[in-house]
Amino acid sequence: MPSLPLSALASTAHALVAPAKGILAADESFPTIEKRFKPLGIASTEATRRAYRETLFTAPELGEFVSGVILFDETLRQKSREGVPFPALLQQLGIVPGIKVDQGVTALANFPDEKITQGLDGLRERLKTYHELGARFTKWRAVFTIKGNSLPSRTCIEANAQRLAQFAALSQEADLVPIVEPEILMTGDHGLEHNEDVAEVVLHTVFAALVSHRVQLEAMLLKPAMVLPGVDCPQQASDIEIATHTLRCLRRTVPAAVPGIVFLSGGQTPDQASQRLAAINRAGEGPWALSFSFGRALQDPALKAWSGKPEHVLAAQAALLDHARQNSAALKR
């Protein structure tokens, strides 16, 4: 059970899905942000990573569209040029600081092409430190690959569901709101309905594990992928088809006690992610708020505009705010 009253954790969860607001995922690991920087000729150093994140976090009026920011371990410990810790800077803007706590994926032994997420070792101690540094929510990502009728395997689904549940329980114990992210990857040639079938199994298994570990559903958020056909599927789907299948899947699997669902962008272009988010919100309602937790779909235009040049900060911030505004508008029914 959480050491704070449930209402305090639930209040944070509800703040993260406040009307017309979503979450900015800025939690790229060292290899991932280097991969993003390299095509633009930006060296990935502590100084450039800090400068880039500060560019994002100080965008004027960001708090009008963004409720929370997911940080990386390094970023949580960094400060602005004025010496203000990033968590404190975000709180001053009315934005809740969060932290990615998993340590990436590794091969699942004896199950080729499947992954298991690492990071439970020492997590209880790390969560205590993260709370002291100003984090108020956490995120853990598990990934699932669809391949014919063989993947994801039941073993992979159950193993990752257990780790998601353990992470969530430990987070609430540390007075942190967990964001549970079971991502079904877009890679593959599977169709829309096959993705929906797999998503139902994954989400049913994840919530069974969460309940088994006594996670308080009122004080957590779910971060799923939208139900999409694989990128190599010869028959792609319209936005309304994606919205219809996504909502049907969520209504069948996500308990009403969960305050909100924050979709990941998962390799979609910024425009695709925004348009499909809008279609989902127009297609119908559920007992939970429907919002976003986008990384590249919010950041890519800003990163390209910035390109590591101090004189491009304002242009980068304008690009970020433009897409944040679009996604905020997409939440209106």
pLDDT per residue as tens, the chain (333 positions): 445 555 799 999 999 999 999 999 999 999 999 999 999 999 999 999 999 999 999 999 999 999 999 999 999 999 999 999 999 999 999 999 999 999 999 999 999 999 999 999 999 999 999 999 999 999 999 999 999 999 999 999 999 999 999 999 999 999 999 999 999 999 999 999 999 999 999 999 999 999 999 999 999 999 999 999 999 999 999 999 999 999 999 999 999 999 999 999 988 999 999 999 999 999 988 899 999 999 999 999 999 999 999 999 999 999 999 999 999 999 987
**Residue that has been written with the tokens 């669902």 in this structure:** 261
* The two structure tokens encoding residue 267: 């390799």
Are the CB atoms for 25 and 300 separated by under 8 Å?
no
Domains plus CATH for the chain?
6-330 (3.20.20.70)
- Percent composition of the chain: helix, strand, coil (DSSP 3-state, to 5): 50, 15, 35
The HSE-up count of residue 177 (CA atoms within 13 Å, CB side) is: 30
- Residue 2: the pLDDT is 47
* pLDDT for res 108: 98
Tokens of 282: 């127009």
Closest-CA residue to 55 (of 328, 322, 324, 315): 315
Q: Find all residues with CB under 8 Å of 67, minimum gap 6, and list them.
A: 15, 16, 17, 18, 21, 22, 23, 95, 96, 291
pLDDT at 6: 54
Residue positions counted in the chain: 333
Measured distance CA(178)–CA(128) in Å, rounded: 14
pTM attached to this predicted model: 0.96
Residue 1: the pLDDT is 46
Q: Which residues of 94-132 are buried (b: 16+ CB within 10 A; e: fewer)?
A: ebbbbbbbbbebeebeeeeebbbbebbeebeebbeebbe
Active site residues: 181, 223
- Which residues have CB under 8 Å from 214's CB, separation 6+? 1, 169
Largest Cα span, the chain? 54
Nearest to 87, CA basis, from 128, 51, 57, 129: 57
